[in-house]
Chain A
């Protein structure tokens, strides 16, 4: 099972600013001077050693993840990252029809705003199916492309499958299951299993009751996952300040992953106000927390970033 992140930002797209880019260049050049680089051949190795927030960016596009499993293409959410995924799919397909199964967690803008710009939808041979527990998904997506908001209506290529709140179904050899999360207006987690590999996407969820009993239904759904994608938009303090906003934090994610016996957790739905340095710091603190509270745990922690991929 192959997983690739195309959009990791929450709430609204947050492109890298010129100021932030300049700061990265300045930091890199200062470190290069300090390292005493003298030849071109030293540069690529030097860049690899730079702090993550200097050499890379988490990215500014909103929620979209690509899964390749059992010969099927599954896409989780269709935020602004969905646009670039569409362009990449066209290039990869080299003219062959594209079959994509698109699982929507909920219809807040950061999870659907890439749909009007998904180029494969304008090619009639492609088979593109949306899945969601929202019975009115088609209406909602049509409204998004009403002429008041967008000049082109929703592409007729899209088909719709309505799921139940808790449903288990097959896409070829791939098993997909749904589970409701805690978010204003609702959100759904997807568990995707193929052969002996299990992937969970659990974004846009707040966990106010953190007792073992309260968390048990979630831990049961996450149980034994090879990879859990977890909403960690806020710090612990912000999570309390922004109660009922429907998001979580890295510490809660770690404890839930440990309780559920998850092997890897990737934090996503990054707060748009956070720059790369802050996101790097959040991951660093998450690793410190795990090291203090469960140093023997084999849980691996990742910060989701655009282009980051993993094979389970």
Chain B
């Protein structure tokens, strides 16, 4: 899995590329938590290059979003879900509690609302 970041107006755009599963979830978790510890609390996870997510990936994003909301008044938001990933978000009910956007710019702007 490859992870990169760009920051604009205090919003961290995190781009991940590859399968988000039991073999990669710790990498994503550690990457975002390291940024959290450094004071970053507004994240957009750009999922354009993520073709697959399993229960391990779902749990990681849910727990990070919960911690950001509860401890830092921040959030983890999502941009550009691939159809299969979007369907898994729906089936698992994550789309009811996480904010998902069609493009990264709108997702980032949502923190200014």
Query: Bound complex: CA of A208 vs CA of B88, how far in Å?
Result: 19
Contact with B along A243-282 (1 / 0, CB 8 A): 0000001011011000100000000000000000000000
Summarize A's interface: helix, strand, loop or mixed. Answer: helix
> Which residues of chain B are within 8 angstroms of A240 by Cβ–Cβ distance?
59, 62-63, 66
Q: Which residue of B lies closest to A241 (CB)?
A: B66
Contact between A235 and B93, CB atoms less than 8 A apart: yes
A213 to chain B, nearest CB (A): 8
- Number of B interface residues at 8 Å Cβ cutoff, please give it: 24
What is the CA–CA distance of A213 and B21 in the complex, to the nearest angstrom?
Answer: 12
A62 at the interface (CB under 8 A from B): no
Q: Is the CB of A251 within 8 A of B22?
A: no
Is B92 part of the binding interface, using a Cβ–Cβ cutoff of 8 Å?
yes
A208 to B25, CA, bound (A): 12
Q: How far is the CA of A132 from the CA of B28 in the complex (A)?
A: 40
Q: How far is the CA of A213 from the CA of B29 in the complex (A)?
A: 15
Instruction: Given A211-B25, A240-B59, answer yes or no on A292-B87 (Cβ-Cβ < 8 Å).
Output: yes
- Residues in chain A near residue B23, CB distance under 8 A: 211-212
Interface pair B22/A259, CB less than 8 Å apart: yes
Measured between beta carbons, the chain B residues less than 8 angstroms from A288 are: 87, 91
Q: Which of B60, B84, B88, B97 contacts A237 (CB 8 A)?
A: B97
How far is the CB of A296 from the nearest CB of chain B, in Å?
14
Residues of B within 8 A of A159 (CB): none
Specify the chain B residue showing the minimal Cβ separation from A251: B55
B55–A292 CB distance below 8 A: no
Give Cα A251 to B57, complex, Å.
11
| Residue A105, interface by CB 8 Å | no
B26 at the interface (CB under 8 A from A): yes
Contact B54 A293 (CB under 8 A): yes
B63 to chain A: which residues have CB within 8 Å? 240
Cβ of A236: which chain B residues have Cβ within 8 Å of it? 55, 58-59, 62, 92-94
- B52 interface contact, C-beta 8 A: yes
Q: Which of B56, B66, B97 contacts A211 (CB 8 A)?
A: B56
Q: What mask results when residues 66 to 106 of chain B are scored 1 for a CB within 8 Å of chain A, else 0?
A: 10000000000000000010011001111011000000000
Closest to B87 in A: A292
- CA of A293 to CA of B58 in the docked complex: distance in angstroms? 13
Bound: A211/B56 CA distance, A: 7
B56 touches A237 (CB 8 A): no
**A223 vs chain B, min Cβ distance (A):** 15
Contacts of A212 in B (CB 8 A): 22-23
* B22 partner residues in chain A, CB cutoff 8 A: 210-212, 215, 255, 259
Q: Which residues of B contact A (CB under 8 A)?
A: 21-23, 25-26, 52, 54-56, 58-60, 62-63, 66, 84, 87-88, 91-94, 96-97
The 10 residue pairs across chains A and B that have the minimum distance between CB atoms: A210-B56, A251-B55, A212-B22, A236-B92, A211-B26, A252-B55, A240-B62, A255-B55, A285-B91, A212-B23
